Structure 1
Amino acid sequence: MKIFIDANILVAVVNKEYPLYTYAARVLSWATAQRYQLVTTSVCFAITFYFAEKKHGNKIAKERIALLANHFIIADCGSEEVQQAAADKSINDFEDGLQYFAAVRAGCSCIVTENVSDFYFSTIEVLTAIGFLKSYYPMGKRLK
């Protein structure tokens, strides 16, 4: 299973932003242990770096991004995704359109994001971190 991880999940993990960090980190660690493939784009890493650098400085931000990137497939987010996002009249947020088309092209089964409503146009499953855990993690039904 390929899971697309949106920038807000990555930011929560890199910056240890509670309470989301607890669930976001569990999604990444459990999915990796299950040999699911984690997918994101260079755009998501750029967004994550921006917020990590503001909080931790350049050196630590780069180290954290490099460590995290080892566990991800970096999906293409090039001219095809730009054209699709620009042409789709149902998409209001261009950046979300880029992420969506990159996820679809990479063959992802779902998108994990805290902004589920931003992907109202999605034809693939869109879940919050806790929603993903409730659906896929064996003990997820116990989460509040």
Structure 2
Amino acid sequence: MAVVVVLGECGTCQTNDVACLNTTHYKFCGENVAPDQIAQCPTGQVCTSLAIVCIDEGLVEATCSDTPADGSCLSCDGSSMFVCTSRTTFQMCNGTSVTSQVTKCKDNKVCSIKSGKYCVDLCEAGDSIECNREAPLES
């Protein structure tokens, strides 16, 4: 199977009139759509600059990657009470260990402990997704 590489930049309007905000979320660039409207690709699809915005993962590269530079999530280091354990969950720290209780953000929100709000709108998080896991790691 050939993989099509789609080059783009996060948050930049593309020729298909959307701006991919991360691997799976995008916003519309048209002036007739409210700028805070965030759309999500169906499960298993990624945001692209192609005419069909969402394409099956693996067939094309996503226009915008939301993977942190080191590809990981922060862990409990004794300096924070909570850490993001996936894009949409966070857990309390007990020293350098994460507790078993997983707290989920509301729909269309991403984890943002650094913001002081726990969960924020994707557009507010911008390029600073704190954890790019689909789900927390099993303890």
Q: TM-score range by the shorter chain?
A: under 0.3
TM-score (normalised: structure 2): 0.27
Greater relative contact order (Cα < 8 A, sep 6+) = 1
Greater fraction of residues in strand? 2
Greater fraction of residues in helix? 1
TM-score (normalised: structure 1): 0.26
